[in-house]
Chains A and B, each alone.
Chain A
Amino acid sequence: DIQMTQSPSSLSASVGDRVTITCRASQSIGTYLNWYHQKPGKAPKLLIYAVSSLQSGVPSRFSGSGSGTDFTLTISSLQPEDFVVYYCQQSYSTPPTFGQGTKLDIK
């Protein structure tokens, strides 16, 4: 199975900050990388698919980049609703696997 490792596991920031979360795959996955966020007590929600394509309805302050084994999610200007947990996920091979999550909280 492909292992997905996110860093950092937790991150403190302020409203208006620009933050970046990194995801590394244990082998090359091309551009088969997706990002989700999860609010407390809710289901995950797809933010970005295929590295950099924004899911419908997702604000443009979210962006993604990378290829091969190293990927990033950037939030350009944090809003109060962005302080949740973020997961990366590879869709390159079965089983699809997720990173362990990055918890973003308010500084």
Chain B
Amino acid sequence: EVQLEESGGGLVQPGRSLRVSCAASGFTFNDYAMHWVRQAPGKGLEWVSRISWNSGLILYADSVKGRFTISRDNAKNSLYLQMNSLRPEDTAFYYCTKDRSAAGLYYFDSWGQGTLVTVSS
């Protein structure tokens, strides 16, 4: 069974940094692209970033480009999102999601439970 478990969320002041992580199990992690998708409390879904199986293709939403960095460690079956220069509008649940393909076709077939990042002074 595919399992994705996020961690690292919390309360952070505007302008500060935070790194969230995702531990994957139940599938061959390095066979699939991975994504971060976020959801502000009570709001809709927003794709944040994508990383291919070998980290060769990385893409970001315009709203986070230049501030967020996605990475993965296939040896540790882990996905990361380094978030710098955080803004109040970054407040959201951050979901780690698995793609159906290695390169990334944007079919999010498995999701973690989410980790809440709150940006506030």
Task: Name A residues whose Cβ lies closer than 8 Å to a Cβ of B.
Answer: 32, 34, 36, 42-46, 49-50, 55, 87, 89, 91, 94-101
Q: Contact: B45 with A94, CB < 8 Å? A: no
Q: Which chain A residue has the least Cβ–Cβ distance from B95?
A: A43
Q: How far is the CA of A6 from the CA of B107 in the complex (A)?
A: 19
Q: How far is the CA of A36 from the CA of B44 in the complex (A)?
A: 12
Take A49-B100, A94-B59, A96-B106 as given contacts and tell me if A44 and B111 are in contact as well, using a CB distance cutoff of 8 Å.
Answer: yes
Which of A42, A43, A49, A99 is B107 in contact with, Cβ under 8 Å?
A49
- Residues of B with C-beta under 8 A to A55: 109
Q: Contact: A44 with B61, CB < 8 Å? A: no
Contact with A along B85-121 (1 / 0, CB 8 A): 0000000000100001000011111111110000000
B47 within 8 A of A: yes
Q: Contact: B112 with A43, CB < 8 Å? A: yes
Q: Which chain B residue has the least Cβ–Cβ distance from A43?
A: B111
Q: Contact: B46 with A98, CB < 8 Å? A: yes
Q: How far is the CA of A98 from the CA of B107 in the complex (A)?
A: 12
How distant is B102 from chain A, measured CB to nearest CB, in Å? 15
Q: Contact: A49 with B109, CB < 8 Å? A: yes
